[in-house]
Copies of this chain bind each other. A is one copy, B any other.
């Protein structure tokens, strides 16, 4: 783990190290932004196509495929650089588990918000004609021709806040529980190289089985970025009021759910692994090269 104090102690001048750390932040931030952008362009695009397509250009399964494969491509886009969390609940859980420094959390969250905000703008431009044709130029959050649901998630009319909160807790718990098992080298992990597809299949599966209550955000940054975009782009403040002020649920509940799911996996499986097997670090964080700077790796600082 990155321990700033220790490093500075060792490198009295500190310049080179600081520079390297900054460079790594740029690397990780850009990769995380790109990963999230890729996931969201594909995901939001699939919703836009279904909503405005009048039943001809796909159905709920294409949305599941759009987000599922979109996640897979997002992991390909930046997986070995930033870990491609693309989800603040994943980042938060990694921090709680001690697999990522808390100091990295803001960087990840900002990168994810940026990526999903830009993706929302991109999809708005791409489907501008289509959305206007569908809703007659009337960008609404409610009603039969509502289009705000293309970008952020909204609860079904029958859903109470309590069940909605549970919905987001449970969905994210299943996400992290399964991510932990996909990465657990002492159990039955995803095959080497097949991690992106396995994670994508997991997200598709959550959409297929837990998608109808509130659109399976299970991701605070995926939801907030596009919601802010729609508030600005013409849907107005209703995007925050809708669903009995639903907007805070996909921000808070996934944090609770993510940690819960990861702990359940630990309690049921990881704790019981035989101790003589060498425990390897598991979870998406293993790709994140954020440990202490290595002196021999000086080339990286040239551009600073």
Q: Is A126 an interface residue (CB 8 A)?
A: yes
* Bound: A167/B122 CA distance, A: 10
Q: Is A9 an interface residue (CB 8 A)?
A: no
Q: Interface digits, A159-191 against B, CB 8 Å rule (1 contact, 0 not)?
A: 110010011001000100110011000111111
Tell me the smallest distance from the CB of A182 to a CB of chain B, in Å: 6
Chain B residues within an 8 Å CB radius of A73:
178, 181, 202, 205
* Bound: A212/B81 CA distance, A: 33
Chain B residues within an 8 Å CB radius of A268:
30-31, 33-34, 78
Q: Interface digits, A58-82 against B, CB 8 Å rule (1 contact, 0 not)?
A: 1111101110011011011111110
Supposing A34-B268, A163-B129, A178-B73 touch, asked if A193 and B196 sit within 8 A by C-beta, the answer is no
Residue in B70, B75, B166, B276 whose CB lies within 8 Å of A188: B75
* Bound: A213/B208 CA distance, A: 23
Chain B residues within an 8 Å CB radius of A191:
191-194
Contact A178 B127 (CB under 8 A): no
Q: What copy number does this chain have within its complex?
A: 4
* Bound: A163/B170 CA distance, A: 39
Contact B269 A177 (CB under 8 A): no
Chain B residues within an 8 Å CB radius of A182:
76
Interface size of A as a range: 35 or more
Supposing A187-B76, A205-B73 touch, asked if A126 and B163 sit within 8 A by C-beta, the answer is yes
Which label, helix, strand, loop or mixed, suits the secondary structure of the A interface? helix
Contact A196 B205 (CB under 8 A): no
Q: Is A275 an interface residue (CB 8 A)?
A: yes
- The stretch from A11-19, A37-45, A87-95, A140-148 touching chain B is A37-45
Chain B residues within an 8 Å CB radius of A300:
274-276
Nearest neighbor of A164 in chain B, beta-carbon distance: B129
Supposing A186-B80, A205-B73 touch, asked if A58 and B57 sit within 8 A by C-beta, the answer is no
Contact A269 B128 (CB under 8 A): no
Q: Is A228 an interface residue (CB 8 A)?
A: no
- The stretch from A46-54, A218-226, A229-237 touching chain B is A46-54
* Bound: A210/B69 CA distance, A: 13
Contact A46 B188 (CB under 8 A): no
Residue in B128, B209, B274 whose CB lies within 8 Å of A45: B209
Supposing A163-B129, A188-B195 touch, asked if A41 and B80 sit within 8 A by C-beta, the answer is no
